[in-house]
Structure 1
């Protein structure tokens, strides 16, 4: 008899039964829901094992620097393969590809790997993207169906910057705004019809940032040689601040601080400006924070960011936004991109090392670090629903587990069915059956069974036992 030949051991504890997760939210656009690089998630950080955070899945998305946007169970990003841009939607839980749309677009690898610069923006069931030469798309998020496409360069005689358009689309009300032309262009988001345009001047590489200008909905647009305040309703100029930089690389998004704006580039002084009705006034400027591509994050009255060129800088810095003075400097950190959540900094270095640190102005307080991805990493990490997304320039995208939800263990029943074992458990939650030949620190657990069937209110799996004489089984939450 089967049960006389085989010792069966059953473990009912789940791999992860952690404390309450706190708040978990989507991240539907570049720099997050509040356009400041800060997630409102809480309770996501748990100390990793020595091997680093668990990798939930990986995907190949093509060469480029687009970050991910996460919304309604889907992950969106962009890449380039064989001189064709790829707009890709992945299943958030599994990483499986849901849809992909491709179109002709040169890689344009000029002093870097090339590929798309802008991140997709999700608004309900619609996804908006922008290519380096100004092709603006609107897709249905669930199917990838093209709703509309506009060639902004051709339609509005917009001059393409040296490294291509890089601004992620911004949704404000019924408009989608791009940093294209002198101080932006706005389209009606449902139809792609022109709302307003502002001329054919050269754009910067930063995305439009929404703000309140004396009670009026407005935008900060960082052009090639100036920053502009723009009336959201009609595109008219509210103020202008000259900001000339080497090779016109105004790439880091303007950062809002109370009623002021911090402007920065790697090649000139960073400057905090105060806004007046139609002009600006400098509050302070210095070379303490010269961010290249990725804007920093403000927590309280302190700005945390990477100082220096992205391809060779090695400094993370904290500055006091009231005075511009440096609070601390951390060296030997290959120029990094930073996001923040729950009073913690999430730092991904150029070489793919991930740091979690306290957002503290007193000193750099590292909590944990781990090498999480290979290759060149210029793209900011994204925290969404207690998972972290990191990518490299060649298109490797990893989803990392930050913490797990509390899962109620389910009772696992077993009976002999011919030469098989039949396992069943209540159809509650999302579980898989796993087996190992021993239990210990080096245990290897593998999913078993030829497929899960539903019988009434229970899930059933049949397993052909091995011949070792000892086997352990457990349920694990996906």
Structure 2
């Protein structure tokens, strides 16, 4: 784990540990890093000192890599390992953990029947659990080969509906979930991305296949023709602007209209294999690639 000066890129501290693919999570002066060996590490954000580390979590099947980031809920850190695990932030001890066929997505918090819940996209299903107890609330079968469910679920309309997407023989779907017995509202096969999650922004549903797409919420049909939107692999929403990035390191800035994506600017940033959604801070865009390379680019005026 590296801590860098956000303005200069100078290294402030380094914490050496096992390899990890997941983006770290920072909260209340602590850095939570999930490694591929299924151990969660907690570091002091000021100096990189190790605060605690967990025991090894349930064996991953079928993945050796872990790509979902840790998610903070109150005094717990929730991770997509096995069938889902929750770790106490104070001590690194387990609050709950389950065996399972873990996926590659980041857990997503939502509200179910007025109570806090978390959706964990495993390799064979989407499972909703009670944040405090880990109780299984409901699930949706969604098995892919080889279990590469890497796109985060998207909750819309006051968490009454949920959008799922995955390639590998599946596609995109919208479910009604408020009742606790999920009902499929629509499904389109093979219309999805490998790892780019959809987005619900200002009452509009966006998704990815080869291109950035605007979808009809009622039917799932594509409202933008593929020639009216650019190739993209992630989207970052900044007010009225949308920042799209490609795996090849191209950045496209534009606005969404009823008819199309209106491109305003485009630039090539020399960092290949960009699969992470970029981060934005004070007019700067940070892009990280699969090999740990990081580029900071100035955007805006």
CA RMSD of aligned residues (A): 1.8
Q: Distance between the aligned counterparts of 1:100 and 1:322, measured in 2?
A: 48
The equivalent position to 2:15 in structure 1, one of 60, 80, 101, is: 101
- What residue number does 1:197 align with? 97
Task: Using structure 2 for the length normalisation, give the TM-score.
Answer: 0.93
Number of paired residues?
A: 297
Q: Distance between the aligned counterparts of 1:224 and 1:104, measured in 2?
A: 23
Q: Secondary structure at the match of 1:362?
A: coil
Q: 1:330 to 1:356 in 2, by over 3 A?
A: farther
Say if 2:174 is the partner of 1:272. yes
Shift of 1:171: 0.4
- What residue number does 2:32 align with? 128
- What residue number does 2:80 align with? 179
- What residue number does 2:259 align with? 362
Q: Distance between the aligned counterparts of 1:241 and 1:279, measured in 2?
A: 9
- What residue number does 1:49 align with? none
Q: Deviations over 1:135-190 (max 9, x none)?
A: 2100000010100011333xxx33344242211000000000001112x1101111
Say if 2:148 is the partner of 1:249. yes
Q: Deviations over 1:372-424 (max 9, x none)?
A: 224222222111222111133333311111246xxxxxxxxxxxxxxxxxxxx
Say if 2:227 is the partner of 1:325. no
The equivalent position to 1:139 in structure 2, one of 43, 54, 57, is: 43
Contact 1:168–1:178 at 8 Å: present in 2 too? yes
Q: How is 1:213-292 mapped onto 2 (pairs within 5 angstroms)? A: 213-258=112-157, 259-267=160-168, 268-287=170-189, 289-292=191-194
Say if 2:191 is the partner of 1:305. no
Contact 1:318–1:361 at 8 Å: present in 2 too? no
Contact 1:333–1:349 at 8 Å: present in 2 too? no
- What residue number does 1:170 align with? 71
The equivalent position to 2:88 in structure 1, one of 188, 191, 211, is: 188
Say if 2:286 is the partner of 1:389. yes
Q: Distance between the aligned counterparts of 1:380 and 1:341, measured in 2?
A: 13
- What residue number does 1:453 align with? none
Greater C-alpha Rg: 1
Point out where structure 2 has 5 or more consecutive residues left out of the alignment: none
Q: Secondary structure at the match of 1:186?
A: strand
Runs of 4+ in 1 over 6 A off after TM superposition: none
Contact 1:288–1:326 at 8 Å: present in 2 too? no
Shift of 1:335: 4.5
Task: Using structure 1 for the length normalisation, give the TM-score.
Answer: 0.59
- What residue number does 1:347 align with? 244
Q: 1:212 to 1:195 in 2, by over 3 A?
A: same
- What residue number does 2:196 align with? 294
Contact 1:301–1:321 at 8 Å: present in 2 too? no
Shift of 1:224: 0.9
Shift of 1:216: 0.7
Point out where structure 1 has 5 or more consecutive residues left out of the alignment: 1-86, 106-115, 308-313, 405-478
Q: Secondary structure at the match of 1:249?
A: coil
Shift of 1:246: 2.4
Say if 2:270 is the partner of 1:373. yes
Higher RCO, 1 vs 2 (CA within 8 Å, ≥6 residues apart): 1
Contact 2:117–2:128 at 8 Å: present in 1 too? yes
Contact 1:340–1:346 at 8 Å: present in 2 too? yes
Q: Secondary structure at the match of 1:212?
A: strand
Q: Secondary structure at the match of 1:327?
A: coil
Contact 1:133–1:160 at 8 Å: present in 2 too? no
The equivalent position to 2:54 in structure 1, one of 150, 156, 171, is: 150
